Chains A and B, each alone.
Chain A
C-alpha cells in the first residue's frame, strides 16, 4: 500500500504544482501496470524432448523403375531422420490417403489425425538420357503451409546422395541446424587376432553404406582425419616401422609422407583452411606440437615444455589450439593461441583428459576422460566450464564431431571372451547425451573421423 498525502499550501505557488506533478507521476505509475492486464498471457517455460512425428511418403513415379527408386529414396530419408533421434517417422501402414500428385495441396486432416506434424512428399522422373529428376515438398501439417520444396537433377546412380541431401534439407528446415547426412566416415577397420592385428583405413557414408578400404593393411594405420575439403585424409602409419604422418588423396589414391622429421610424428589434424597440418613430434624423449605449412613445407614448433604435449586440434576459426599435456603432473587440457603463445589450462576435474576436439560450432570441446579405471566421452565449454559426460564404458575414446556440432561419434571397446579378446565398435550420441546408437561396420572399428559436409 502506498500512501501519498497532498497538502496544497496557501502561500507557495510552486509547491502545489510540485505536488500535482508528483501526483501525476504517481498515477502514471499506476497506469504503467495497466497494459499488463490487457490480455490473457501464458508463460510456458517447460516443454518436452521427443522426436517430431513426421510422415514420409514414397516418392511417386510413373514407371516401375521410378516407383522403385521413389520408395528407395523415401526409405533413405526415413532412416536418416529417424537415426538423428529428432524425428519419428510414422509407419506407412498408418497412412490414410496418400496424395497421388505433388501439385496439389495435401489433405492435411488426413495427416493431422496421425499426429504427423510434418509431411514429406516427392516425385521421381527419368529423362531420356537416364538422368533422374527428384523433387520434394515438406509440409507443416498444423500450419498447413509448405516449409520447403526443391528439385534435384542428377545421374540416377547418385540417388542415395540425393536422398541424404533431401534429408539434410528437411533436418535444417525443421531444426534450424545444418544436416549431416550427406557426409562420410573414415575409420580404422580392424581384423585378425590381438597379436596379429590388421588395421586398414576404411571409408563409408555416415549410414554405413558405400563402404570400402583405402589401404591394404600392410602397414598399421591410426588416427585418420579429414581435410576441410574432405578430399584428403591425414593419418599416422607405421610404414617401414617408423611412425610418420601421411596424407592420402581420396580421388587419386595417392599417399605421401608429410615431411622428413627426425622423430616420430603422430596425432595429425588439418587446419580449418586446409593449408597446414598440426601434429605431435617425439624427439629425444620429449613430445612437442608442430605445424607444417602444406604449401611451403615449413614446420613450426608451437610448444616448448619438457612434458608431453599432444593431440592438438584447431578451433574452427583457426585462432586457437586445444591440446593435452601432463605438464601439471596429470594429463589435462590446455588452450593456446595458434602461434603457441598464451597457454592456459582449462580442465581441472579429477582424472585425466585426452583427445580434445573443438566443436564445429566453436562453443564446446569434446574429450576423453579417464578416472578410476573407467573411460568417458564428455564435453566442456572452451573455458573448461560446464563439463558434461555423455558416454562411459570399459574403453570409450576418440570423439569426433558431426559437421553441425550436434552429434559426437566415438569408438567403444568391449571385452570379449576369457582370453583377453575384445570387440570394437563405433557409436554416435547426441550432444544432449541422448540417442546413443551403434554405427554398423563390417568389422571391428576404431578411430572414427567425421567428414565435413560436401560443399
Chain B
C-alpha cells in the first residue's frame, strides 16, 4: 500500500506538477526538515497557538488512536458520519474530493502571510517538534486532509521559496516561519479556533481513557474458547457514548463479512453484547473530554487468551 502510494505521489509529482520541472532558482536553499516520531507517552502541550482557516473548522475531530495498536488490525475506515447508522458499511474512500475543495479558501489565508525569510540554512526551531506532537482531536465531518493541502500547495511553496532572495536577518524575535513550515505545523497540529481547551488531550490521558474503557469491557466480553477458530476472529464494534459514560448505540462494523459464518456471527454478537452490557457501565471517563470519547471503536481480538 505504502509503495503504491509513494509511486502515485512520485508520478503525480513528475507529471502533474509542471512547476517542478521549471528551472530551479539560482539560490541555494538548504533546508532541514526534522520529523519527529511521537512516542506513545509523549505529553502534548495543551496550549493552542495557531488559528485555523475556516475550512478547517468544518473538519471532524481527529480522535487519536492507541499508538501501540497494530496497524494491521486497523482497517481502513471511512470518516465517521455525523449520525452513524447501526450497520455502516466500511467503505474506505481513497480521498474524497471535497477535501481538496478548501484549497481556494486556504490560499487567501496563506498569501498574506509574510514571505519566507531567506532560507540560507534554516533549521526548524526546537518548538516545531513540540508543535508536531500537538495532535488534538477535533470533531467535524470530512476534515480536509492537511497533507492534501500541503501537497497541492507544495509546488507553490517551493517556487516561493526559490524566488525568495537572501536578505539580511532582521530582528530574531520576529523571525517567522515560512508558509510551508507553517502549513506543516498546522497540518500536524490540527487545531482550530472553535475548540475548547477541554478537547485537547495528552497521550497519557488518551492511554488512561483507553485503559478505562478496556478494563470495564473485559468482564463483560464473554468469549467461547472452545469454538473452532475462535482465536482468529477479530470483531470491530463501533459505539456512541452518552455524556454519562454509557453506551447509547453499538454496532458491529464488519458484520457484513460475518453473516455467512455462524461462528463469526456469534462471535460478533458476543462482542456487541459486551459493549452494550450496562453492567460494565458507565465508563468512568472525564466528562470534560466527552468530545474525545463520544465515539469509540473497539477491536475485539481474543488472541491473548489463546497465548498468542
Interface on A for B, CB 8 Å cutoff? 1-10, 12-13, 16-17, 20-21, 23-32, 34-50, 52, 86, 112, 115, 117, 140, 142-143, 147, 172-177, 361, 363, 405-406, 430-432
Across-interface contacts of B298 in A (CB, < 8 A): 41-44
Cα–Cα distance between A319 and B147 once the two chains are bound (Å) = 58
Q: Are B34 and A175 in contact (CB under 8 A)?
A: no
17 contacts between A and B (CB under 8 A): A2-B37, A6-B33, A29-B2, A36-B69, A36-B71, A38-B65, A38-B80, A40-B63, A41-B74, A44-B300, A47-B222, A48-B220, A86-B224, A142-B272, A142-B277, A173-B262, A175-B266
Across-interface contacts of A26 in B (CB, < 8 A): 33, 35
* Residue in A27, A36, A112 whose beta carbon sits within 8 Å of that of B151 in the complex: A27
Q: Describe A's contact surface by its main secondary structure.
A: mixed
- Say yes or no for B196: interface residue by CB 8 A criterion: no
Given A16-B24, A38-B65, answer yes or no on A43-B214 (Cβ-Cβ < 8 Å).
Answer: yes
Q: Are A20 and B158 in contact (CB under 8 A)?
A: yes
- Say yes or no for B106: interface residue by CB 8 A criterion: no
- Say yes or no for B88: interface residue by CB 8 A criterion: no
Q: Are A117 and B277 in contact (CB under 8 A)?
A: yes
**Residue in B24, B79, B214, B298 with the greatest tally of chain A CB atoms within 10 Å:** B24
Across-interface contacts of B162 in A (CB, < 8 A): 8
Across-interface contacts of A172 in B (CB, < 8 A): 262
The stretch from B5-13, B109-117, B163-171 touching chain A is B5-13
* Residue in B29, B79, B147, B305 whose beta carbon sits within 8 Å of that of A31 in the complex: B147
Q: Are A1 and B35 in contact (CB under 8 A)?
A: yes
Q: Which 9 A-B pairs have the closest CB atoms?
A: A176-B266, A47-B221, A142-B276, A45-B304, A176-B263, A31-B147, A41-B65, A176-B262, A47-B223
Given A45-B305, A47-B223, answer yes or no on A24-B214 (Cβ-Cβ < 8 Å).
Answer: no
Given A45-B305, A177-B227, A177-B262, answer yes or no on A40-B210 (Cβ-Cβ < 8 Å).
Answer: yes
Q: Are B63 and A39 in contact (CB under 8 A)?
A: yes
Q: Are B9 and A24 in contact (CB under 8 A)?
A: yes
Q: Tell me how far the C-beta of B77 lies from the nearest C-beta in chain A, rounded to whole angstroms.
A: 7
CB proximity to A under 8 Å, residues B23-58: 23-26, 28-37
- By beta carbon, the residue of chain A nearest B161 is A8
The proximity string for B residues 73-96 relative to A, scoring 1 for CB distances below 8 Å and 0 otherwise, is 110110110000000000000000
Q: Tell me how far the C-beta of B48 lies from the nearest C-beta in chain A, rounded to whole angstroms.
A: 17
Q: Are B262 and A42 in contact (CB under 8 A)?
A: no
Q: Are B272 and A143 in contact (CB under 8 A)?
A: yes
Q: Are B34 and A176 in contact (CB under 8 A)?
A: no
Cα–Cα distance between A127 and B23 once the two chains are bound (Å) = 93
Q: Are A39 and B297 in contact (CB under 8 A)?
A: yes
Q: Are A28 and B9 in contact (CB under 8 A)?
A: yes
Cα–Cα distance between A300 and B288 once the two chains are bound (Å) = 78
Q: Are B147 and A177 in contact (CB under 8 A)?
A: no
Across-interface contacts of A30 in B (CB, < 8 A): 35, 147, 188
**Residue in B10, B65, B154, B265 with the greatest tally of chain A CB atoms within 10 Å:** B65
Cα–Cα distance between A91 and B92 once the two chains are bound (Å) = 47
Cα–Cα distance between A281 and B16 once the two chains are bound (Å) = 81
- Say yes or no for B273: interface residue by CB 8 A criterion: yes
Across-interface contacts of B263 in A (CB, < 8 A): 176-177
* Residue in A42, A112, A432 whose beta carbon sits within 8 Å of that of B225 in the complex: A432
- Say yes or no for B204: interface residue by CB 8 A criterion: no
- Say yes or no for B14: interface residue by CB 8 A criterion: yes
Cα–Cα distance between A25 and B31 once the two chains are bound (Å) = 16
Q: Tell me how far the C-beta of B46 lies from the nearest C-beta in chain A, rounded to whole angstroms.
A: 17
Q: Are B34 and A2 in contact (CB under 8 A)?
A: yes
Q: Are B266 and A7 in contact (CB under 8 A)?
A: no
Across-interface contacts of A112 in B (CB, < 8 A): 278
Cα–Cα distance between A46 and B222 once the two chains are bound (Å) = 9
Q: Are A174 and B63 in contact (CB under 8 A)?
A: no
Q: Are A34 and B33 in contact (CB under 8 A)?
A: no
Cα–Cα distance between A29 and B278 once the two chains are bound (Å) = 41
Q: Are A174 and B10 in contact (CB under 8 A)?
A: no
* Residue in B24, B62, B151 whose beta carbon sits within 8 Å of that of A10 in the complex: B24
Q: Tell me how far the C-beta of B33 lies from the nearest C-beta in chain A, rounded to whole angstroms.
A: 5
**Residue in A10, A12, A29, A39 with the greatest tally of chain B CB atoms within 10 Å:** A39
- Say yes or no for B199: interface residue by CB 8 A criterion: no
Across-interface contacts of B278 in A (CB, < 8 A): 112
Q: Are B266 and A8 in contact (CB under 8 A)?
A: no
Across-interface contacts of A36 in B (CB, < 8 A): 65, 69, 71, 74
Across-interface contacts of B69 in A (CB, < 8 A): 36, 41, 43
Q: Are B30 and A43 in contact (CB under 8 A)?
A: no
Cα–Cα distance between A86 and B225 once the two chains are bound (Å) = 11
With A5-B32, A21-B13 given, can you name 15 additional A-B contacts, CB distance below 8 Å? Answer: A2-B34, A3-B32, A5-B31, A8-B24, A8-B29, A17-B14, A27-B150, A35-B76, A36-B71, A38-B62, A40-B64, A40-B206, A40-B295, A142-B276, A177-B228
Cα–Cα distance between A147 and B189 once the two chains are bound (Å) = 46
The proximity string for B residues 224-255 relative to A, scoring 1 for CB distances below 8 Å and 0 otherwise, is 11111000000000000000000000000000
- By beta carbon, the residue of chain B nearest A45 is B304
Cα–Cα distance between A43 and B297 once the two chains are bound (Å) = 9
Given A5-B31, A37-B135, A361-B228, answer yes or no on A45-B301 (Cβ-Cβ < 8 Å).
Answer: yes
* Residue in A34, A41, A47 whose beta carbon sits within 8 Å of that of B297 in the complex: A41
- By beta carbon, the residue of chain A nearest B230 is A176
Q: Are A176 and B264 in contact (CB under 8 A)?
A: yes
Q: Are B227 and A47 in contact (CB under 8 A)?
A: no
- By beta carbon, the residue of chain A nearest B76 is A35
Q: Are A48 and B221 in contact (CB under 8 A)?
A: yes
Cα–Cα distance between A406 and B230 once the two chains are bound (Å) = 13
Given A43-B301, A46-B304, answer yes or no on A3-B34 (Cβ-Cβ < 8 Å).
Answer: yes
* Residue in B80, B145, B147 whose beta carbon sits within 8 Å of that of A39 in the complex: B80
- Say yes or no for B98: interface residue by CB 8 A criterion: no
Cα–Cα distance between A361 and B25 once the two chains are bound (Å) = 71
Cα–Cα distance between A145 and B159 once the two chains are bound (Å) = 61
Q: Are A24 and B24 in contact (CB under 8 A)?
A: no
- By beta carbon, the residue of chain B nearest A430 is B226
Cα–Cα distance between A37 and B132 once the two chains are bound (Å) = 13
Across-interface contacts of B217 in A (CB, < 8 A): 42, 44
Across-interface contacts of A13 in B (CB, < 8 A): 21, 23-24
Across-interface contacts of A21 in B (CB, < 8 A): 9-10, 13-14
Q: Tell me how far the C-beta of A432 lies from the nearest C-beta in chain B, rounded to whole angstroms.
A: 5
The proximity string for B residues 130-163 relative to A, scoring 1 for CB distances below 8 Å and 0 otherwise, is 0000010100000001110011001000100010
- Say yes or no for B219: interface residue by CB 8 A criterion: yes
Q: Tell me how far the C-beta of B187 lies from the nearest C-beta in chain A, rounded to whole angstroms.
A: 8
Cα–Cα distance between A327 and B82 once the two chains are bound (Å) = 70
Across-interface contacts of B264 in A (CB, < 8 A): 176
Given A32-B2, A140-B273, answer yes or no on A24-B13 (Cβ-Cβ < 8 Å).
Answer: yes
